[in-house]
Amino acid sequence: MSAPATRLSVNLNKIALLRNTRQTGVPDVEKFGRIALAAGAGGLTVHPRPDRRHIRDEDVRSVARLMADYPAAEFNIEGYPGAGFLALVTDVRPTQCTLVPDAWDAVTSDTGWDIPGSRPLLERSVSMLKAAGIRVILFMDPSARMIERVPETGADGVEIYTGTYAAAFRRGTYREQLDQCVAAAAKADQLGLVVNAGHDLNLRNLPPLLSRASIHEVSIGHELTADALRSGFAATVRRYAAVVAKTVE
């Protein structure tokens, strides 16, 4: 029996980061979101951080309006569940919200939730978001032991952090890290959770992961944007979408 198709969600943060180095509005986040969807992306991801270094509130709202033209695509908003973030998300009401335990000054998302230590915050946040009809995902390290605790929060699924796997892949010694991601995905699937993955995934390290793990969605921004500097944005999205589609058979 064929595994469910994996969805490619294009993260637009780096488009916004480049835009914010000038005051011209170029490149336009909404336009690049439209290019990604037209080129075969199954969804878009944005991650507004507290310092608004890239995605801003107006970007979240403009991308939300764009999604109305692509009813089959999914809109995913990532972020730390502070009061301002939760208010924005419940107002916009995306398909999915991925809660990430980012520190205020985090350079990037590089660790998952410690559920015992964050359970009260997560329970409150998950309850609020689900009441608004939003699927809730928790950003988690590739630890089957910690993923066992996710149902306690009421969340619908997990996004498995793949940064450690990607770093090991660059070194050429990634078997152990890949095994950890696969075991984490299997545990989440066993628990009936949605299984997403993301961080530093690219055209080279995606096939080994998706050939062994059933993944609902991969969220990719930095590596895709870097590849687009060589090949063009639309062409690169098409390449990533093709790799995702061909890997799961």
* Predicted structure pTM score: 0.94
Asked if residues 111 and 161 have their Cβ atoms less than 8 Å apart, the reply is yes
Asked if residues 45 and 219 have their Cβ atoms less than 8 Å apart, the reply is yes
pLDDT for the residue numbered 109: 61
- Of 30, 47, 159, 217, the catalytic one is 47
pLDDT for the residue numbered 52: 82
Each residue of 22-66: pLDDT tens digit?
Answer: 989 999 999 999 999 999 999 999 999 888 888 999 999 999 999
Is 30 annotated in the active site? no
Q: Which residues of the chain, if any, have pLDDT below 70? A: 1-4, 103-110, 247-249
Which residue ranges form the domains of the chain, and what is each CATH number? 7-247 (3.20.20.70)
- Of 74, 78, 217, 223, the catalytic one is 78
Is 54 annotated in the active site? no
- Of 54, 159, 199, 216, the catalytic one is 199
